[in-house]
Amino acid sequence: MITLYDYELSGNCYKLRLLMSMLGVDWKTVPVDFYPGREHKSDWFLRINPLGQLPVIDDDGLILRDAQAILVYLASKYDAAGTWYPRDNPALLGEVSQWLAFADGITATASAARLHDALFYDFDVEAARTGAHRLFRILDEHLWFGEQEGRDWICSASHPTIADIACFPYIMLSEEGGISRQDYPAIRRWCDRVKRIKGFTVMSGVFPAGPAKAA
Amino acid sequence: MSTAALCSDRVLLNDWHVVADLANLSVGAPFHTRLLGVDITIHCRGRYNKEVVRDDTGALVTSTKRYGFLWACLGKPERDIVFVPEAEEGDRYLVTGGSIAVKVSGLRMVENFLDMGHFPFVHTGWLGDEPHTEVAPYKVELTAADELVATECKFYQPVASPTAKGGFVVDYIYKVTRPYTVALYKSNPVQKDRLDVITLFVQPVDEDNCVAHPFLAYLKDGIDEAGIRSFMQLIFAQDKPILENQVPRRLPLDPRAETPIRADAVAVLYRRWLRDKPVTYGAIPARM
């Protein structure tokens, strides 16, 4: 059974809960007192992850850190259909990796602004917000052109991939860092599509989509 | 530089307010915050000695430590910090729940804390679910000690607490002890005749911003501190986006400003109590 070292308010932990829920995988949770206890910097946790970061999973003794790396592992191991991380399609794999790195950029900006505003982190919040808007603009245009070509997801496939899961949480939580999504209509439509994927689950601060309008 | 309006409510200026969870303070890292529109900095001089200084004048602000928090009073304290009797009971964990800044008036935060009507919609699957949406009539009164108390509050909750093993009808008591302080007593799922207590100390940062500082006194049976904090933050973070989207951000005290229903009886009394004090900071005063 997978054990997830988890913090409820972490978007990076939420990514894994989201994918495991969509894949129908069972897991159990060890809550880590990230705030205000800073338990991710405690001796016992640093032995599991010397970087002192969440999330971490333990899958029958295999310990992995880094949200994006764990998404790759979970999809490769538990997605029988092989669509979430399409190992047989080099071009698509390249795209997925490109957007996984982009998701790290969203964490470094949108998530940082949220930590500043809500949990008193001493970050340059204006730089974080500016950086997030730059990334959101790039993604919004990418999604808008995709929609013109009939593509619903971030990568060039007819189905979602782990790139969608990696980018979703900190975009969805951006308003808590003072980053409005008002100017990114294609991002907002894509967020609603993610929310309608079978197995979608919420975290605190993320609400489910309303019922889809009949076509 | 501060551009926030300053406070002229004596009842707030001469009272104690939490300004930080001690867990968030460390030596060599000054902590900047704001209280009632006044920018302040907290300095840790060694492990035990904390100093609160006004940024505008450099004057030292009266401060003290209690319940795991640092408290400050900008004026002259006219009464002691709120007493939490359950904090004296040895079989309870006493934990700070994690201070979280919210872009709304602290009075709105208190009122939201008093509201059961939103449980099934905002805390779906935890503190409520459909179709159990009715708020049964409850009692509310102003006590001789000038506290607002709501009793006989009952609500069906699927997962009422970190140790709950299934849904049950939870008994609640609410107590508003100060304009920016509210407490909730709810049935412990293991020892059903005893109550867990959550006191929410709200820091009025300025009129449109606050910090929620929850203080939890939970029975230790079958739970650990990380679990208590995790549950508190799970619930609180569901409220946060709702609170941050309230318009206006301040609490209107005019009875005609927002239309209450019967379930809001405690909120109606809370607004009237604020109006009578009077508390205007964080509020939109009633029209004459």
Q: Is the domain of B136 the same as that of B55?
A: no
From the list A37, A118, A204, the residue facing B101 with the nearest CB is: A118
Contact of A79 with A23, CB cutoff 8 Å:
yes
Q: Is the domain of B213 the same as that of B146?
A: yes
pLDDT at B1: 44
Q: Is the domain of B42 the same as that of B147?
A: no
Q: What is the CA radius of gyration of chain A?
A: 17
**What CATH code is carried by the domain that includes residue B203?**
3.90.380.10
Cβ of A7 and B225 within 8 Å?
no
Domain count, chain B: 2
- Closest C-alpha among A38, A18, A39, A59 to residue A197: A18
How confident is the prediction along chain B (288 residues), in pLDDT tens digits per residue?
A: 446 788 999 999 999 999 999 999 998 899 999 999 999 999 998 778 899 999 999 999 999 999 999 999 999 999 999 999 999 999 999 999 999 999 999 999 999 999 999 999 999 999 999 999 999 999 999 999 999 999 999 999 999 888 888 898 999 999 999 999 999 999 888 887 899 999 999 999 999 999 999 999 999 988 888 889 999 999 999 999 999 999 999 999 998 888 888 889 999 999 999 999 999 999 999 876
**What CATH code is carried by the domain that includes residue B50?**
2.20.25.680
Q: Is residue B78 part of a domain?
A: no
> In a mutagenesis test of the A interface, which of B95, B223, B238, B239 is the best target, namely the one with the most A β-carbons within 10 Å?
B238
> What token pair was written down for A63?
């310990």
Residue B104 and residue B239: Cα distance in Å, rounded? 12
Homologous superfamily, domain A2-78:
Glutaredoxin (3.40.30.10)
Domain borders along chain A are: 2-78, 90-195
Q: Is residue B1 part of a domain?
A: no
Orientation of helix A162-172 relative to helix A11-23, angle to 10°: 140
Q: Is the domain of B133 the same as that of B215?
A: yes
Q: Is the domain of B48 the same as that of B177?
A: no
CATH class of A90-195: mainly alpha
Q: Is the domain of B100 the same as that of B214?
A: yes
From the list B33, B101, B235, the residue facing A117 with the nearest CB is: B101
ipTM for the whole complex:
0.92
Cβ of B233 and A37 within 8 Å?
no
Cβ of A8 and B225 within 8 Å?
no
Q: Give CA torsion, residues A149, A151, A157, A158, to 10 deg.
A: -120
Q: Is the domain of B277 the same as that of B182?
A: yes
Q: Is residue B253 part of a domain?
A: yes
From the list B31, B33, B226, the residue facing A39 with the nearest CB is: B226
In B61-80, which positions are buried (b, 16+ CB within 10 angstroms) versus exposed (e)? bebeebbbbbbbbbeebeee
Residue A20 DSSP class: H
Q: Is the domain of B22 the same as that of B161?
A: no
Q: Is the domain of B63 the same as that of B189?
A: no
Residue B179 and residue B62: Cα distance in Å, rounded? 20
From the list B100, B235, B236, the residue facing A119 with the nearest CB is: B100
Model confidence over B67-100: pLDDT tens digits? 999 999 999 999 999 999 999 999 999 999 999 9
- Closest C-alpha among B107, B162, B139, B117 to residue B274: B107
Cβ of A35 and B98 within 8 Å?
yes
> What token pair was written down for B171?
């008994």
Model confidence over A96-140: pLDDT tens digits? 999 999 999 999 999 999 999 999 999 999 999 999 999 999 999
- pTM comes to 0.94
pLDDT at B226: 87
Question: Identical fold at A2-78 and A90-195?
Answer: no
Tell me the shortest Cα–Cα distance from B92 to chain A, in angstroms: 18
Model confidence over A10-56: pLDDT tens digits? 999 999 999 999 999 999 999 999 999 999 999 999 999 999 999 99
Residue A104 and residue A109: Cα distance in Å, rounded? 9
> In a mutagenesis test of the A interface, which of B229, B232, B239 is the best target, namely the one with the most A β-carbons within 10 Å?
B229
Cβ of B244 and A8 within 8 Å?
no
Sign of CA dihedral B270, B276, B282, B283: positive
- B182 membership: H or E segment, kind and range: strand B181-187
**What residues make up the domain containing B99?**
85-284
